[in-house]
Amino acid sequence: EADIYQTPRYLVIGTGKKITLECSQTMGHDKMYWYQQDPGMELHLIHYSYGVNSTEKGDLSSESTVSRIRTEHFPLTLESARPSHTSQYLCASSLQGYGYTFGSGTRLTVV
């Protein structure tokens, strides 16, 4: 059973709205990640964090922002959603040298 939780599972929202995708883990992992994945496509790293107050941009440029105020919480925010943001967003966490644990993802649709 996964110990990393993403909410909401699905979100349909209008253009221009501010949204926050939640990600929480109960495993005490220092490292957390956000990936973006279009249907049937590869994953692209958009943000990562190696601990509290540490955030970095990933390999794929994204208009989203993240914060890491607590170890267990790594929310992703879009200040003004656009149709081009429509995608699946996957959160993951890990311990150094071990595999990632992924959440179930948030499927975002911006209309």
Partner 1 sequence: SQQGEEDPQALSIQEGENATMNCSYKTSINNLQWYRQNSGRGLVHLILIRSNEREKHSGRLRVTLDTSKKSSSLLITASRAADTASYFCATGPYNTDKLIFGTGTRLQVFP
- Binding stretches for partner 1 (CB under 8 A): 2, 6, 31, 33, 35, 40-43, 45, 48, 50, 58-59, 88, 90, 92, 94, 96-105, 107
Q: How far is the CB of 37 from partner 1 (least distance, A)?
A: 9
The number of residues in the chain equals 111
Rounded to an integer, what distance in angstroms lies between the CA atom of residue 91 and that of residue 6?
A: 7
Q: How far is the CB of 80 from partner 1 (least distance, A)?
A: 26
Question: 35 or 78, CB closer to partner 1?
Answer: 35
Rounded to an integer, what distance in angstroms lies between the CA atom of residue 61 and that of residue 7?
A: 23
The partner residues of 66 in beta bridges, in order of sequence, read 76
Question: 9 or 17, CB closer to partner 1?
Answer: 9
Rounded to an integer, what distance in angstroms lies between the CA atom of residue 104 and that of residue 83?
A: 22
71 contacts 28 by C-beta, under 8 angstroms: yes
Which DSSP letter does residue 70 get?
B
Question: 42 or 111, CB closer to partner 1?
Answer: 42
Q: How far is the CB of 3 from partner 1 (least distance, A)?
A: 12
Question: 16 or 32, CB closer to partner 1?
Answer: 32
